[in-house]
Amino acid sequence: MADTKSMQIENKQVDKKKTKSHRITFGIIYLVLAAFIWIVFVNGTDTSILTTFNMTPGGSSAYMDDWIFPTASTLSTLAFICAIAGAYQIIRGFGKFTNGILALVAGIFIFSFLSWASSGGSINLAGLLRVTVVRAVPLTLGAMAGMLCERSGTVNIAIEGMMLTSAFVSTVIASLTNLWIGMLAGVLTGGLIAWIHGVLTIKYKVDHTISGTVINIFATGITSFLSSKFLQKTDYQYLNEPGMFPQIDIPVLSKIPFVGPILFSHNMYVYAMFLLVPFLTVMLFSTRWGLRLRSVGEHPKAADTLGINVIKTRYMAVILGGMMAGFAGTYFTLGSSGRFDELLTAGRGFIALAAMLFGNYHPVGAMGAGLLFGFFDSLSAKASILKVPIPSDFLGMMPYLATIVVLAGVVGRSQAPAAAGKSYDKESL
């Protein structure tokens, strides 16, 4: 008995040693950020300069007063808070609040950046956040598409290709018929491509990454070709005029100042995201359907021995995932730009996969990651019109840089389904 106790104590000591180096690294990062805010942001700013945050997005009727504050003094306070957090982190550590404090410091840093960038002028904070929500839509939907596939054991890196193709098809069909039929056509297109991916990987056991890459290359090629041949030609403009889903203001909720316009004054894609996230969460984790789907992604042989049809389940999940990707694809044309242009998805399908990993294969996590990447997306668009002395091309890289940082820092810890990427062979040991 005494042995057990001494061993537990020993274990704890060793655990501590390990976390200690972590603790100090984090603390030093906080201190560096504090110094950065102080040296770059505060020192370059005259004490009399003010920052203005507009709290009402352009064209909204839910009005809220602008938020005006002196830049230098606010920023020095924030730098001070970061410094304290860093010092405390090094000396004591925040224990179970570590992640919360990390998010807080990161938030402070971004806020400081914004205040500094808009000092002497103004930035529309509400607009920034509103666009964040919009930009999160394709990322979150794409992440959930990838999730359906990977949770069932099929790796799908062809989200990008599926989105691109469905964006194209939906544009043409919607131009010829109406928005809803166009959207449906996009969804079916995604499902069809996913079915091909399924046949290749599930039936013919082609390597999942290769099949996905082939689909991406094919999608890029065919949509670019058809687009430049027809959609971009004046003679065929009637094929590239699908229109857009209108904005729907939710009664009452959209009138709440600040929050209303950010969350409740969008077209149906944003609401679809808000509904699909909890829906898929419940489906995956609380229903028979979800249990079976996850089981074939974790241990297909075990599922098979319990009478679950591994092949059918995988096809079903991959095709549903493809339809979800297809739906995400139609957002680009029917929900955002109102027309198709070559490569208009711009790698969002891959960032969606990053969001899936970052969100640890969970719909809610995926939306969180989607919002984070969406924020940088929105910020890069906004910041290029501010007085920031950074070339706008670099600002355009922000969403992708954020993706790399997040992937490098966090994904090591996310838990992929055990059988993801492995085709199932019944008669093998």
Contacting residues toward ligand ATP, per CB under 6 A: 427-429
Cα–Cα dist 352/214, whole Å:
19
Q: Which is nearer to another protein, 1 or 252 (CB)?
A: 1
Q: In 10 A of CB 16, how many CB atoms? A: 11
Q: Does 18 bind another protein (CB under 8 A)?
A: yes
Q: Which is nearer to ligand ATP, 205 or 233 (CB)?
A: 205
Residue linked to tokens 């969804």:
187
Q: How far is the CB of 304 from ligand ATP (least distance, A)?
A: 14
**SS3 category, 189:** helix
Task: Using the rule CB under 8 A, give the single segment among 7-15, 90-98, 181-189, 227-235 that binds another protein.
Answer: 7-15
Number of residues that bind another protein (CB under 8 A): 33
Q: Which is nearer to another protein, 53 or 315 (CB)?
A: 315
Judge contact between 195 and 149, C-beta under 8 A: no
Q: Which is nearer to ligand ATP, 393 or 427 (CB)?
A: 427
Q: What are phi and psi of 243, to 5 degrees?
A: 80, 180
List the one residue out of 374, 376, 370, 346 whose CA is nearest residue 358.
Answer: 370
Q: How far is the CB of 289 from ligand ATP (least distance, A)?
A: 31
Judge contact between 53 and 66, C-beta under 8 A: yes
Restricting to residues 267-286, which ones interact with another protein according to CB under 8 A?
282, 286
Judge contact between 276 and 144, C-beta under 8 A: yes
Q: Does 413 bind another protein (CB under 8 A)?
A: no
Q: How far is the CB of 360 from another protein (least distance, A)?
A: 12
11 binds, among another protein, ligand ATP, none (CB under 5 to 8 A by kind): another protein
| HEC profile of 221-278 | HHHHHHHHHHHCCHHHHHHHCCCCCCCEECCCHHHCCCHHHHHCEECHHHHHHHHHHH
Q: Which is nearer to another protein, 215 or 280 (CB)?
A: 280
Cα–Cα dist 368/238, whole Å:
38
Q: Does 418 bind another protein (CB under 8 A)?
A: yes
Determine the residue with CB nearest ligand ATP.
Answer: 427
Q: Which is nearer to another protein, 294 or 348 (CB)?
A: 294
Cα–Cα dist 341/362, whole Å:
32
Restricting to residues 286-325, which ones interact with another protein according to CB under 8 A?
286-289, 291-292, 294-295, 298-299, 301-308
Q: Which is nearer to another protein, 235 or 427 (CB)?
A: 427
Q: Which is nearer to another protein, 306 or 408 (CB)?
A: 306
Cα–Cα dist 76/40, whole Å:
11
Q: Does 249 bind another protein (CB under 8 A)?
A: no
Q: How far is the CB of 426 from ligand ATP (least distance, A)?
A: 9
Residues 6+ apart with CB under 8 A from 366: 140, 143, 144, 147, 277, 355, 356, 359
Q: How far is the CB of 163 from another protein (least distance, A)?
A: 29
Binding site for another protein (CB under 8 A): 3-4, 7, 10-11, 14-15, 18, 282, 286-289, 291-292, 294-295, 298-299, 301-308, 415, 418, 426-429
